[in-house]
Structure 1
Amino acid sequence: FGEAVVKRGEPLAHMEEVLVPLYLRHRYQVGATAKLIGGEVYEYAVRGESEAQVSERVPAQRQAAALDALLSTITPAALALPEAARTRIPPRPPGHPDTREVFEGRTDPTFDPYAPVEVAATLVLDALTAPERALRLIEQRDATPDLPGLQGTLTTITEAVWKADPPADGYRAEVQRTVQQVWTDVLLDRADAGAGAPAVRARLEQHLRTLRDWLAAHPGASTEAEAHRTAVRASIDRYFDRSHDAASPPASVAAPPGSPIGQAPGYHRRHAQRQAWLDRWTPPVCSRQRP
């Protein structure tokens, strides 16, 4: 990735339009892979036409492999941008305004190297905690103890996101903290969703308490880590103290439009603003389909 991705004579700022589909090249595979977790293979069976099993749960080993694959996409090594993307994309010149096929950011007019990280992590963590999937994980564990449950899945994600060793490189360490912030926001949003099942909410809130206790016991080894963990723990405290404004979702950046290119941006945003608020109007696509 570098200057060669744009035609000679074009502004280098157009490198970002090429970066988006490259960086998010896995966005549709994320959705497909997430369907294996808490998923079922089923047929639209009709009485008298077939003796085949109508529905069969995805085996535990395949569900675990799917979760591992998804978590491998949100590690600092996987999310870190190449040096050329971080340093060679200049501000957009006059006459070349932003398009919808670029990442939103918070460093205007310069390129925000953490916005793509937030978008990619949100795609994965949103998919893993879709309300329907969360309840299916509870149900499948209750019915078959050998299958993954919601609590175990949340724990696995938190261990991968929060308990991995921090990178020595400053940029990658901030990438890791960005993913940690996204995961905490997702947990808070899902727990705060009024339409969620009580069983799901109970487990999410218990997991948040466990995470808060862990953060209190592990304040961070650096000034940056300590500031980050203190802020995250405070956000969890506000949730349980109900001192937060439930009508005001946390700030976030939205994913650029996917397929088909050109749809209204709100259709693709996890946040119109944050999926918990979107869910109240447009329920997420049910992943209970043939994997």
Structure 2
Amino acid sequence: MFFKIYKQRNWPEDGKLIFINQKLIENHIGCAKMIAFDRSDSFFQTGFLLEECLPGITADRIVFGPESGREFYKKLALLVSKIHRIQIENYGYIGNGIASYSSFTESMIDKYDEIAKALINKKLLDKNSLLEIKKPVIDKLRIIESLPSVLNHGDLSTKNVMVDKHGELTLIDWDDAMSYNWIADISRMTYWMKFQYNDYEYAMYRHTFMEHYSTDGANFDFDALESTFHVWIGLDYLNYLASKPQYEDTLTYFKETVDKLSL
């Protein structure tokens, strides 16, 4: 069994993990079966989760060679394709199954403002520079307003992929799951890959994933939007990584993606 105690009373949202677990099971997608999620226990007032412990190891502990790495990202693409076929009503925080915003753009604007406020309070970035970045980011994201809202894992990275002895993959840790379009989820994956691989490996594994990823809505140009999402994601992680060793590398890549906004 796997036991987790949460730090916050309102995260993850009430009902979300139960809803996602049911959806994964309904769609025959492998997952750790949830046994209990409770915020009524007087000893664990912020909530706890009890779920099945899956066999295997997380993919971040595996050293990939070119062939094994390509095979991993091929399998991951097929798995994520299945997940992105699960449509969610509206965009943003999922809660009990219906997300908060009827508009993708409005959900992104509110989340941007929330992140920006935290960065300003921590004196990491100033208000004017954040406003200058906001307009081109939101303008570009409006292009994909019509893409369907689907289940996003919210933290697609090797640390959240279990690999069993047969090489089968299962996504774990759905705490950050949201309802956005498919590009948002995959952009977060490629964001993490930038810090995990050298340029050759990044290009190879990214190409392998995109070659095998397929959903009904996957007809937009991912390349055209990826960098814009990396700006938005980068802001989030600058906030999260403040005062941590990874902050400077995150800031350097953030500046690179901001420069691309004007191209």
Q: TM-score range by the shorter chain?
A: 0.3 to 0.5
Tell me the TM-score normalised to structure 1 length. 0.31
- Greater Rg, structure 1 or structure 2? 1
Tell me the TM-score normalised to structure 2 length. 0.33
